[in-house]
Chains A and B, each alone.
Chain A
């Protein structure tokens, strides 16, 4: 017997605190029985047991260790030679240059370093210059450039961005290229000579194009009014960066490598991520398959010492390196792979032992899914 007082209440049509009661057409509020609403979407629920995890360990170990070994061996086969020519040491040939030199000196200082390669360098050899303790990633330094000027924008050429301050204008002329990065461009000249056993010196030919990123060279950096081949006229109303010897349109004689699209310039403008860095300087192309690019023997490095680093205890290096499919010399990656692989393998062994010794319990879980 349902209480009669309640049925009376249900007759009040207009009092509908609870919908569904008293209405003539009762709309069913039954939820839809769909996989989504009932949370029965298909799902993969892997259950990790010793049977699946232990093989996974071994497989990871077995895959990673050979990869690591491969990488390590490859890395070791890459030949690399590095020479510091800063000249902090009294005995260094460049000592005098480094002591006397500052941004303002006009006469170039030259010094020559001798070194020998124990092994021949096959294939293309990449020549880098390296700087240490040079904070090219300092925020204010990184910001101090005008990308639209470098992209050939005429207005920015005349009116460089404020970010370039204090290297924005010089003697009321806009600086092109403006900013601290451009101003501090690396301007040592490095030349390499092979010294025959009989004493004659032959200069190693360098290729100075193809050292910048393709996008940088063709997209990001462009000379203003590229239709006009006469760069001198284009940059007529601009000043050169204060530390530069030559204006930007005299960086090279090749019109394809002059002005803002000079590749040495582009390489410098791509700021380094860490305070110790190397940048590609030249490529030494292999001559033929018979003779190595750089045979073993004695070499001399002739440095036109322009770039001062003594004030901030910086170091300058010259690096020669061959490359392989994995890039330059890089033992880290191989070691990392080997380490991870061995840890996996070791753990696999340990866990297998544990499983074998203690795991005779029924491990397959009886959870219904």
Chain B
């Protein structure tokens, strides 16, 4: 067909009601091969079947370089001429590692079976099917809307689970399908529908869709307005009919999620480098020793016929070459083969421990903490920047109407919810409860109708909004685009001004039981720029009134000049702001009929004019919204979550830079900043451009976009923010949140953590090193994309300071210990080679080599990785300053690593030369020496086993936290144990304690 060429991206063919066509192209898979086009609607998040497990898992495992390396070693060992140690001595550990790893993979896979979407009812949906979706059902696949029971085939969907926006969005079917298919015999019509849809291949772009419908010889363009996405919920529409276009893993939501980038931690990267260094070191050493072997064969052997006859006329160079491989095999135990698997097992256990922590379990929604990514634990102990969302993360996102200011009086008291005594609202048959406002005076005034201002105020609240109502059990339930609106309309309802319903032209409210119809003339929308909204209505008495609701600044400047009560209003606003309440001013204007006629003409002209419609509209709206009379001020509380101020204060003490990124307006954000101890009362604020050296920066959108665009600005900004206590970014869009995170990542070396609860935080969560999702009220999007899921913000303190610190500590100790034990083990061969003519004679017996990593030394090290605690949980929380060792990477950096490696060299020297020194005077045979050296090894490992098993945590001293830990954790040789440890500790205590103690006292 010719439109192929026009739409090169349009390659997805969907034939309505053609089961056979789609069945034949079902996607199937075997092992790692896939064919077919259309995925079925079952979403598999597991990858193995009993049959495929073994080959697939082995294939995956040998993609790891370490495993491949050891496979190579095994192969080398099977070559007799270079086999210094028998093949099984590497084969056994390798099998062990592969086995553990395979079990782990299998376990993870089995866990993920019961995760994500359940598809019991949906699994039979095929591309090309036409589905009937009822009200409040979740849409099971990406559907092309054909028609619905609503006029014009409109239908409303709630997309909270996809983008987190709770307001309803409408979708409309093509007019052709609406008219042709709707009618009395809609089902027969649909069954006979034979249109063909050509559209894009499946992609993850939620907000774009292009395609064409070919039906009855005509082409109709399709766009995103015609598409009902899987995962959205049908609302306010009885039945909608749709044609399935993308099913299962092809659907947009699934294309969009589940693709978590594999995040590597800094420690892991350094570890990889270290392993590389060890490899290089190993090769160099083997090379040098091989040269030594060559020289030995050249100089010594010819005279030494006992040996020289054995090499059977080989040249020294060839013998050196053979010896090189022999030494590669011999030194290969210095490569920490089982390190990676131990690393992962320990990560997994740490994740389990996070989930098991009863102090991070929240009863209210029955959710424990959850570690969704198992590779990031130690970075929890290194976070330098915490970027937090505000609404729903710091606050509960449950807005409560707490106070109002009407005609010079403040109604309502800001008291704790504990002491709150609810009003008696039994007189109101529409009351649904839930009002956290208590002022009998206001209720009395309203019921006595003694205060026209109060009545007018609540009329305004009941009229001026974009809320949709829905009736259930005889009570109105509201669906609002913003929680503020909902809180206000609900409050009005509770106090007797009930918004009943709306149509395009009318608004129906019940004023104290008296139903009144208002004619809706115009709705002046809310935009973030205008920061207000208005409705123009004709009241039942025929009067034109404009009700306006908006941010205090914008409303106050539009009031009539010399308005009364100016002083008390400002005082009230100030009072509300101090109480961290979001304020909105409500105002009214009586509009003369003449003005309305003229204005509506201008408006309709503007509607047809070209050019920048938005600005034109804004101007026109502006003309209407002036000379207002203030009715009152509402104060809504978005309560902080429990423990937020304490948590932020602790985290700041721990040296974290806390950034709050919020879409809120500056004033609210600053107030919340004060409330949650992000800023102290004496903090100096620097706003926007006047960037000088003060304490807290808060910046807003425009500047931010400049910052993120120009790199040198970004660097300066991050440098500046390092001088500041905290940063508050206001009016930030979701994309900008991610940009801010990106900027911090780029311009600072520290680990960033992003925490949020809504879909608007997903970008940020994905961009940061570590993303934390709160299981809040805004759907599960944030959690789905996060690495860790928490129920409450305050649990972050425990997650970071306790689990993070422990994980970092344990993993660093583990890695260093591991490197230490493997290198010390292998290096002994180097010393021995000076005494055996560089012949690659192993120092140990072969069984010892194969059991060393698997049996003798793996358990103690793992127990340490699981249970070691340098400081108790309580101390971690009491002295958050301890956390800074992770931020400064004090336990695992190149210097510490070098010391570790040097130390292992030292140990290997001790291990070799002390037994040699002791035994050289006796009739020393090879076996005795080998066993002695091994025994001193065993002593090392068993004593650590004893230490680890019996002591569980080898706590030394909070004061001696730092880099000597390795030495203490790995005693080496019997009589050297004592001094070495003690000396270091003593010296350490002496040197460090003054500093540390001051730290702690402070």
Contacts and interface: CB of A to CB of B under 8 A. Distances in A.
A38 interface: yes
A278 B923 contact: yes
A56 B983 CA distance: 10
Interface string B283-298: 0000000000000000
Contact of A330 (B311, B400, B918, B997): B918
B435 A367 contact: no
A198 B434 CA distance: 125
A347 B983 contact: yes
Given A17-B161, A139-B836, A180 B306 contact: yes
B546 to A, nearest CB: 27
B305 interface: yes
Contacts of B930: 273
Nearest to A281: B923
Contacts of B698: none
B777 interface: yes
B925 A273 contact: yes
Contacts of A368: 872, 874-875, 878
A273 B928 contact: yes
B979 A336 contact: no
A1 B304 contact: no
A363 B993 CA distance: 9
Contacts of A184: 306
Interface of A is mostly: loop
Interface stretch (A6-14, A91-99, A152-160, A289-297): A6-14
A33 B360 CA distance: 12
Contact of A48 (B400, B478, B960): B960
Interface string A154-194: 00000000000110000000000000100110000000000
Contacts of B916: 273-274
Nearest to A274: B835
Interface stretch (A114-122, A140-148, A254-262): A140-148
Given A1-B432, A50-B986, A311 B871 contact: no
B434 A1 contact: yes
B611 to A, nearest CB: 37
B435 A270 contact: no
A4 B951 contact: no
Contacts of B177: none
Contacts of B398: 1-3
Nearest to B115: A19
B3 interface: no
Interface stretch (A202-210, A229-237, A245-253, A337-345): A337-345
A138 B836 contact: yes
A3 B486 contact: yes
Contacts of B116: 17
Contact of B955 (A30, A41, A45, A144): A45
A214 interface: no
A39 B353 contact: yes
Interface string A309-338: 001110000000000000111111100110
Nearest to B352: A37
B443 to A, nearest CB: 17
Contacts of B951: 43-45
A123 interface: no
B367 A29 contact: yes
Interface stretch (B500-508, B614-622, B837-845): B837-845
A16 interface: yes
B89 to A, nearest CB: 15
Given A2-B434, A3-B777, A31 B355 contact: yes
B218 interface: no
A70 interface: no
Contact of B986 (A26, A44, A53, A343): A53
B976 A273 contact: no
A139 B840 contact: yes
Contacts of B978: 56, 60, 344
B994 interface: yes
B361 interface: yes
A138 B975 contact: no
Interface stretch (B31-39, B117-125, B663-671): B117-125
A84 B21 CA distance: 98
A287 interface: no
Contact of A137 (B161, B836, B957, B959): B836
A41 B251 CA distance: 48
B940 interface: no
Given A9-B158, A17-B161, A39-B873, A274 B924 contact: yes
B918 A46 contact: no
Contact of B366 (A17, A26, A135, A278): A26
A356 interface: no
Given A135-B836, A138-B841, A46 B955 contact: yes
Contacts of A228: none
B166 to A, nearest CB: 6
Contacts of A226: none
Contact of B917 (A9, A16, A135, A336): A336
A37 B349 CA distance: 10
B914 A6 contact: no
Contact of A47 (B777, B917, B956): B956
Given A53-B985, A368-B878, A28 B366 contact: yes
B358 interface: yes
A31 B925 contact: no
B955 A43 contact: yes
Contacts of A280: 923
A180 B311 CA distance: 11
B522 interface: no
Interface in B751-804: 775, 777, 779-780, 783-784
B326 interface: yes
Contacts of B777: 2-3, 6
Interface in A108-137: 128, 134-137
Contacts of A327: 922
A355 B957 CA distance: 17
Contacts of B487: 1
A39 B979 CA distance: 31
Interface string B253-284: 00000000000000000000000000000000
Given A3-B483, A17-B161, A138-B836, A311 B304 contact: yes
A354 interface: yes
B554 interface: no
B801 to A, nearest CB: 14
A14 B120 contact: yes
Given A30-B361, A368-B878, A48 B836 contact: no
Given A26-B366, A46-B955, A48-B982, A5 B479 contact: yes
A204 B819 CA distance: 57
A330 B922 CA distance: 8
16 contacts: A12-B136, A14-B118, A20-B365, A29-B368, A39-B873, A41-B952, A45-B951, A45-B953, A47-B957, A53-B985, A138-B837, A139-B839, A180-B307, A312-B303, A328-B921, A330-B921
Given A9-B158, A347-B983, 19 more contacts: A1-B435, A2-B434, A4-B479, A12-B137, A14-B118, A16-B118, A20-B366, A30-B358, A135-B300, A139-B326, A140-B310, A142-B926, A270-B927, A273-B930, A277-B924, A280-B923, A330-B918, A344-B978, A368-B872
Interface of B: 84, 116-118, 120-121, 136-138, 158, 160-161, 166, 233, 235, 300, 303-307, 309-312, 326, 353, 355-359, 361, 363, 365-368, 398, 400, 432-436, 470, 477-480, 483, 486-487, 490-491, 775, 777, 779-780, 783-784, 806, 835-837, 839-841, 867, 869, 871-875, 878, 914, 916-930, 950-953, 955-960, 975-976, 978-979, 982-983, 985-986, 989-990, 993-994, 997
Interface of A: 1-6, 8-9, 11-12, 14-18, 20-21, 26, 28-33, 37-39, 41-50, 53-54, 56-57, 60, 64, 128, 134-142, 144, 165-166, 180, 183-184, 270-280, 311-313, 327-333, 336-337, 340, 343-344, 347, 351, 354-355, 358-359, 361, 363, 365, 367-369
